[in-house]
Amino acid sequence: MNKPTVGISACLLGHCVRYNGEHKRHDWIVNEFGKQVDFVPICPEIEMGLGVPRKTLRLIIRDSQTRMVLNESGEDLTDLALSSSRRILSKLPRMDGYIFKKDSPSCGLSGVKLYTPDGNCGTGGTGIFSQEFRKSFAGIPVIEESDLNVLEAQAHFRNAVLKAAREHSTT
C-alpha cells in the first residue's frame, strides 16, 4: 500500500506563509507523522493571492451567513475565498486525512472567532476553506493540530488515516 495522503495547513509544516511571515511548525507532525504519510501542504490565503505579509482577516456573521472580511477595511473577500477553495479542491488527489490550523478564519475546523455586526465576538466559526473541504471530502479523518499534542490522540488520528487509506486502496 502507498503511504496515506494527508492534506495539511502549510504553516504547520514550517512554511512561512502566515500573515506576518511566520510559521506554526508542529514538531510531532513534521518529525513523526511525516515519516508515515505524504503531505499535501495548502495555504488557502496564499492561493487567494493575498501574499505574505498580508492584512489580517476575520469571520463575521451577516444576514445569517458567515462572511470573511479584512479586519481593517471590512472588505468582503468571501466570494474570492470560496472560488479559490473550490479551485484548490478540484485539483486535489484522493485524500486520507487533513490536519487544519486551529483558530484560522480559513483553516479552523470549529471555534473560530465569529463577530456580529455590532462587533461582539463569539467562537462558533468555521474557516471558509475547511468548510468547503468537508463538503468535498465528507467522512475522511480531520483534526486540528492542537488536538495532536497527546499520545492517545496522535495514535487515534494515525489509525484513522491508515484505515481510510486501506479503504481507499481497495475501491
Among 6, 107, 112, 128, binds ligand SF4 (CB under 6 A): 107
**Site size with ligand SF4, rule: CB under 6 A:** 12
Among 45, 96, 144, 145, binds ligand SF4 (CB under 6 A): 45
The per-residue b/e assignment along 48-70, b for 16 or more CB within 10 angstroms, e otherwise, is bebeeebeebbbbbeeeebbbbe
Q: Which of 162, 118, 132 is nearest to 1 (CA)?
A: 162
Among 5, 66, 85, 104, binds ligand SF4 (CB under 6 A): 104
Among 6, 29, 37, 43, binds ligand SF4 (CB under 6 A): 43
Told to check if 9 binds ligand SF4 by CB under 6 A, we report: yes
Q: Which residue has the cell 499520545?
A: 151
Told to check if 44 binds ligand SF4 by CB under 6 A, we report: yes
Q: Assess contact for 54 and 88: CB atoms under 8 A.
A: no
Rounded CA-CA distance 142/140 in Å is: 6
CB within 8 Å of 66: residues ≥ 6 apart: 59, 60, 78, 114, 125, 126, 128, 131
User: Pairing mode, if any, of strands 112-115 and 5-9?
Assistant: unpaired
Q: In whole angstroms, how close is the CB of 26 to ligand SF4 at the nearest point?
A: 11
Rounded CA-CA distance 131/38 in Å is: 23
Q: Which is nearer to ligand SF4, 29 or 162 (CB)?
A: 29
Told to check if 26 binds ligand SF4 by CB under 6 A, we report: no
Told to check if 67 binds ligand SF4 by CB under 6 A, we report: no
Window of 30-38, 104-112, 116-124, 161-169 that interacts with ligand SF4 by CB under 6 A: 104-112
Q: In whole angstroms, how close is the CB of 22 to ligand SF4 at the nearest point?
A: 9
Residues near ligand SF4, by CB under 6 A: 9-11, 17-18, 43-45, 101, 104, 106-107
